[in-house]
Amino acid sequence: MQTYRSQVKIVVDVLTSANAPDADAEGVGITHLLRRANLSYTRLLGILSRLVDHGLLNETNLGKTQKYRISDKGLKFLQAYGEFEEFTESFGLRV
């Protein structure tokens, strides 16, 4: 049976994709995020805009393209999410 991702899980997937170890100094591009987070272009743009507004991602403008890098706040969010995920899984449930 297919399981759907919750909104927060999508956010986590985008942040995890932006935290790629192979990213350069400015971060990762839209194509990389689209491929890793498995989202449509318009949906991803909306999420990226909100994540930048909340300070979870840092955006760098490179002329016509933008690059995204996870911020310290974003890393803290991922860490906290991981802890709650572990807590939920200890009861045999999924976040």
Partner 1 sequence: MLGESFLALSESGLHLAGGLVGFSVARVARQGYKETSSPALYRLSIAFILLGFGLTMTGVTGLIEISSFGVFALVLSLTLSVATILETGGYFFLALSQGIKARSSANRGFLAGLAIPTASVFTLLRSLSFIFLLYGMLETLLSYFERKKRVTLMIASALGLLALGEFTRWLALFNSGVSPLLLISILLKLFGFFMLYTPVLKFSSFKGIPQFANL
Residues forming the site for partner 1 (CB under 8 A):
1, 3, 6-8, 11, 50-51, 54, 56, 73, 76-77, 80-81, 83-84, 86-95
- Alpha-carbon dihedral sign for residues 86, 87, 92, 94: negative
Residue nearer to partner 1 on the CB measure, 65 or 87: 87
CB of 65 to partner 1, least distance (A): 24
Residue nearer to partner 1 on the CB measure, 24 or 72: 72
Residue nearer to partner 1 on the CB measure, 35 or 80: 80
Q: Cβ atoms within 10 A of the Cβ of 67, count? A: 20
Residue nearer to partner 1 on the CB measure, 25 or 33: 33
Torsion over CA of 26, 27, 28 and 30, rounded to 10 degrees?
A: -70
Q: Cβ atoms within 10 A of the Cβ of 33, count? A: 26
CB of 40 to partner 1, least distance (A): 18
Where does 1-95 show beta strands of DSSP type E?
57-62, 65-70
CB of 24 to partner 1, least distance (A): 26
